[in-house]
Structure 1
Amino acid sequence: MELYNLKHPSQVVSFTEALTLGLGKDRGLFFPSEIPVLEDMDALLALPFVERSQKVLGAWLASEIGQDAVDSLVEKAFNFDVKLVKADDSKYCLELFHGPTLAFKDFGARFMAQCLNELAGDKKINILTATSGDTGAAVADAFFGLDNIQVVVLYPKGKISILQEKMFTTLGGNIHTVSVESDFDACQALVKHAFEDSDVRDGLHLNSANSINISRLLAQTCYYFEAVAQFKRQHNQDPVIAVPSGNFGNLTAGLFAKAMGLPIAGFVAATNSNDTVPRYLEQGDWLPQATVATMSNAMDVAEPSNWPRVEAIVEKMGWSLSDIKGVALSEEDTSDSLKALICQGYLSEPHAAIAAKALELTLSTEEKGIFLGTAHPAKFKDVVDKELDIELALPIELAAVENKDILSVTLAANFNQLKSYLFNVL
């Protein structure tokens, strides 16, 4: 597999190189030179999830690492369910939270961990990543205890739910966590700065497990195929898919899947008040504003890193950005959507509720669609309990960490402080 740096196209790398580097020169994102197109889609969609995923990822990777290696990586990473659940007559939720950390990030993080464990050999790897909530838990769980790999996770202090926080800050061992006195965009900027600093990047053999790492995005294409497969068993039409969007890795993966030939009628990019992309799609001006804290905190991102990949896919395929519908919802809208879903018999959480409402606002009378359920409602227990006036029981994964001590250190949003910390712990 060949990839190039979107900022410096002359920098061309293999998948294994992109996997271990994370980012290219000048913070550039790696992008595939070619997008494989899959044949006989009906037969592909008839396969079980794991077997189909092996073929989907094999189309990208088999030429470099071999199909047997791909098959093994997928089998080890994707060992949990993906469920399509009816919310009402026109909307279905693709539940992506049945993995070990109860969030969609398990797909990309587990696949990336398996890839690094198998392909990096004996090379020592230090992973630096930022999280707006669920990435931290998924990455920590996926890499916990792996030889030769140390992980540092930055997250915005006081801006993620306490249960999200405890899922990755209580492990210890090779997982190091830093509470940054700022917002997610500041955490992300610190990670990017670290990759620009040659002393840190090269001296510490840095990698990133954010959705900027191409391995995570390729893994995420697989559940879009599963969504369409389950949907088409019930409906003789292509679904519209609404994606709750923060850093826009999830939408990028969906666009890759469509480019591979997956029949998707259209995409809705659903955001909260951090509406940089919906405003851009409507007005044509890229004007990030200060990040706003919301109840859908994993989407509190004003400058999404993956957007250049979205535009690169659209350009490569000859599509138009106008084919992507952008919808931004207020806190009141989010609350109303949560209540509407529970009245229909479906218990959700703020991120999926935003996607559900955005889907409803954009579907025509003839269309049906899917919204992505990116996290278990109990990961946002405080919000869900308050908004719906209920008392959610904790699943065993969250109950296990509820009373554990947080092991994080707290730092200002200052690169020199972070640099000193990294050289001290890694």
Structure 2
Amino acid sequence: MKFYNINYHKEKKTFSQALQQGLGINQGLFFPEYIPKLNNKTIENILNLNFIDKSSYILSLFLEKEMELNILNKKIKKGFNFPLIFNIFDKNLACLELFHGPTLAFKDFGVRFMAQMLKFFNKGKKNKIIILTATSGDTGAAVAHAFYNIKNIEIVILYPYKKISILQEKLFCTLGNNIKTIAIKGNFDDCQKLIKKSFNDQELKQTLNLNSANSINISRLLAQICYYFEAFSQIPLDQRKKKIIISVPSGNFGNLTAGLIAKVMGLPIHKFIAATNINDTIPRYLNLKHWEPKKTISTLSNAMDVSIPNNWPRIKKIFQTNNWNLNLLESKSITDLETTQTTINVFNKYKYILEPHTAVSFCALKKYILEKNTFNIFLGTAHPAKFKEYIYNTLHKKIMLPKILTNCIKKENLSYKLPNNFLVLKNFLIKNYII
């Protein structure tokens, strides 16, 4: 299968080429030339597989002849070496918990698959890959841990200074070795702009082998398709014929893009809800049909503090290619006050602890619909322990920290601090990576 550049359709790459290049000409995102369509019988067979075999089959449709199925299966088994939990609350309500990986966030799925793929396709090559990526909270830790100590791959992570939680920061800023972290004096959108400028700079292109591990990388996107099929397979059989509604916490919109691809493939999902915080570019766009990003505002759900979602061009392409009306996509904007009230309400009713991103997802779902003829799923994207102060202040409950957090909390923060200035970042990269 070929992957084409959305901004320059003549540029077409194989999976391994798109994986290693990251962005195309004119900062274009790579996207499959076609999305495989599966009939009902094939989907039924896939749903009966275990998660590793299910994921291997789905991803083999996109990799085709680039990797043998048995090798792909081994790589996925190594990458997805943690549980995915489907937590049913009521007869027609469930949470898909995606935060049981090594860095306690859903990003572990996409990034660990990417790491395994890059390690495989870069094997035997002498030149180093420099992965330059931005994080609004969870991506940084997932990338750092997935690529830690992998030979010939260097990681540079940008994040907004003092705009992520201390525990989030400690998870990826304390590793060292092939991991460098930079606190940028700005917001997440500023970090993303610096990344894009770096990929567009001719001198850096010619001197550094740059790549990105953000959700702009096609490998991360493809990996996330898998857990939508797994979620559907966990729905009780007597509920599967109902309208399936999935609420997705949305910042950069990679998670939602993967879900939409699953729907195109034939997974019978009735509707997606793009749940955002008050950084509401997409809800306003869907309501008013006018694209007007505003300045990014810091919220409790900090990993979703994004005003210009990178994956929106891919979502538009999905709707155009399939002749779908954008009205098929629902989007709700949730305030911090609503987030906190939802956290309290869910704990009081279910004795279940939500962190802010998952609370946004639940609240958006409740705002939309919870009828008898629907089965409703909200995605849990981060472990509550990463927001223990928020949980304590909101619910007066102390959360035991998982081992990975207790191991890193006392370690030294090794981050650099740089201004929101591209030339300063460029000089940093040249100084550190051009020998």
Q: Same fold (TM over 0.5)?
A: yes
| CA distance 1:392–1:234, change in 2 (3 Å) | farther
Whether 1:416 and 2:423 are equivalent positions in the alignment is yes
**Hey, what's the Cα distance between the residues in 2 that align with 1:253 and 1:139?**
19
- CA offset digits 1:4-56 (Å, max 9, x no partner): 11111011111111001100011110111011123421121011110111101
1:53 alignment counterpart: 55
Contact 1:87 1:345 in 2 (8 A): no
Contact 2:92 2:239 in 1 (8 A): no
Whether 1:359 and 2:365 are equivalent positions in the alignment is yes
Contact 1:87 1:341 in 2 (8 A): no
Contact 2:240 2:375 in 1 (8 A): no
2:216 alignment counterpart: 212
Of residues 249-258 and 83-92 in structure 1, the stretch that sits farther from structure 2 once superposed is 83-92
**Hey, what's the Cα distance between the residues in 1 that align with 2:388 and 2:411?**
17
Contact 2:301 2:357 in 1 (8 A): yes
What SS does structure 2 have at the residue aligned with 1:390?
coil
Match runs of 1:145-224 below 5 Å: 145-224=149-228
Residue in structure 1 matching 2:100, options 98, 101, 105: 98
Contact 1:97 1:103 in 2 (8 A): yes
Residue in structure 2 matching 1:249, options 248, 251, 254: 254
1:143 alignment counterpart: 147
Match runs of 1:343-354 below 5 Å: 343=348, 344-354=350-360
**Hey, what's the Cα distance between the residues in 2 that align with 1:87 and 1:135?**
28
TM-score, length-scaled by structure 2: 0.96
Contact 1:61 1:67 in 2 (8 A): no
Of residues 211-220 and 394-403 in structure 1, the stretch that sits farther from structure 2 once superposed is 394-403
**Hey, what's the Cα distance between the residues in 2 that align with 1:293 and 1:68?**
45
| CA distance 1:403–1:233, change in 2 (3 Å) | farther
**Hey, what's the Cα distance between the residues in 1 that align with 2:302 and 2:292?**
20
Contact 1:240 1:267 in 2 (8 A): yes
Residue in structure 2 matching 1:372, options 355, 379, 389: 379
Count the aligned residue pairs: 426
Measured after TM superposition, the shift of residue 364 of structure 1 is 4.5
Amino acid at match of 1:329: I
Measured after TM superposition, the shift of residue 70 of structure 1 is 1.9
Measured after TM superposition, the shift of residue 89 of structure 1 is 4.1
Contact 1:61 1:70 in 2 (8 A): no
- CA offset digits 1:198-243 (Å, max 9, x no partner): 2112311000000000000000001111111101446233421000
1:36 alignment counterpart: 36
Match runs of 1:67-78 below 5 Å: 67-78=69-80
2:274 alignment counterpart: 269
1:298 alignment counterpart: 303
Residue in structure 1 matching 2:407, options 390, 400, 405: 400
Whether 1:327 and 2:332 are equivalent positions in the alignment is yes
Match runs of 1:126-137 below 5 Å: 126-137=130-141
Q: Runs ≥4 in structure 1, deviation > 4 angstroms?
A: none
Contact 1:112 1:216 in 2 (8 A): yes
What SS does structure 2 have at the residue aligned with 1:87?
strand
What is the alpha-carbon root mean square deviation over aligned residues? 1.1
Of residues 79-88 and 205-214 in structure 1, the stretch that sits farther from structure 2 once superposed is 79-88
Contact 1:181 1:411 in 2 (8 A): yes
- CA offset digits 1:385-423 (Å, max 9, x no partner): 211122111111111111111000000010011011111
Amino acid at match of 1:42: E
Percentage identity across paired residues of the two chains: 48
What SS does structure 1 have at the residue aligned with 2:95?
strand
Measured after TM superposition, the shift of residue 92 of structure 1 is 0.9
Contact 1:91 1:356 in 2 (8 A): no
**Hey, what's the Cα distance between the residues in 2 that align with 1:249 and 1:385?**
30
TM-score, length-scaled by structure 1: 0.98
Contact 2:215 2:311 in 1 (8 A): yes
**Hey, what's the Cα distance between the residues in 2 that align with 1:411 and 1:205?**
22
Measured after TM superposition, the shift of residue 87 of structure 1 is 3.2
1:385 alignment counterpart: 392
